Amino acid sequence: MAARRPLVIINGQVQQLPAGDTLNASVSEVDVVSLTNTSGGAAPIGTPVYISASGSFSLARANASGTTEAIGLVRDASIANATAGNIQTDGVLTATTGQWDAITGQTGGLTFGAVYFLSAATAGRLTSTAPDTSGQYVLRVGKALSTTDLDISILAPIGL
């Protein structure tokens, strides 16, 4: 089979990649944004957050429309109040079982195969039981791939 060169855009025109040139593009399935914590306390890894003002976040909770629109989960080990940090919006987030226990209220980390939702009971927490009370919101956050890995795939909230 003949070797083929990929197509690229050079000076606004589609052309074959010139001989001797290579493609050097990073590939990442993870999107991360930097936001400042305005929640009033530290936000540990895995904490679901929403954008509360331009460039800042607060802890998300599925009990009101204004706090339900989670953008992602804290990626850093912890983000102190009034400090900027990384929020992961998709892809796989890895934390220790103890770190996940603090976010889910479970023991032993995440439950393999379980779908996790934004908690209506406690701000900044996840639960494997979807909210079911009128006035609350169901917001799917992701699915556990193991006891330490959560595949973040946030869907639109559904009001009850």
Judged against a pLDDT cut of 80, whether residue 29 lies above it is answered with no
Q: Is residue 3 part of a domain?
A: no
Range of the domain at 124: 32-159
Domain membership of residue 13 (yes or no) is: no
Q: Please indicate, yes or no, if residue 148 is contained in any of the structural domains.
A: yes
In a domain, residue 86? The reply is yes
Q: What is the mean pLDDT of residues 132-154?
A: 97
pLDDT for position 13: 86
Give how far the C-alpha of residue 104 lies from the chain's centroid of Cα atoms, to the nearest Å.
15
Residue 25 — very low, low, confident or very high, per pLDDT cuts 50/70/90? low
Residue 48 placed within a domain: yes
Tally the domains of the chain: 1
Per the prediction, the chain carries an average pLDDT of: 93
Total residues found in the chain within this entry: 160
Judge whether 99 lies within some domain.
yes
Strands 140-144 vs 149-152: parallel, antiparallel or unpaired? antiparallel
More confident residue, 46 or 18: 46
| Per-position DSSP letters for 148-160, written without gaps between them | SEEEE-----EE-
pLDDT of residue 117: 98
66 three-state secondary structure:
helix
Q: What is the pLDDT of residues 79-123, one digit of tens each?
A: 999 999 999 999 999 999 999 999 999 999 999 999 999 999 999
- For 52-72, the pLDDT digits (tens) are 999 999 999 999 999 999 999
- Split at pLDDT 50, 70, 90, the class of 28 is low
Q: Within a domain: residue 52?
A: yes
In a domain, 2, yes or no: no
pTM of the entire structure? 0.82
At residue 115, the pLDDT reads 98
Residue 6 reports pLDDT greater than 90: no
3-class SS of residue 97 = helix
Across 26-37, average pLDDT: 82
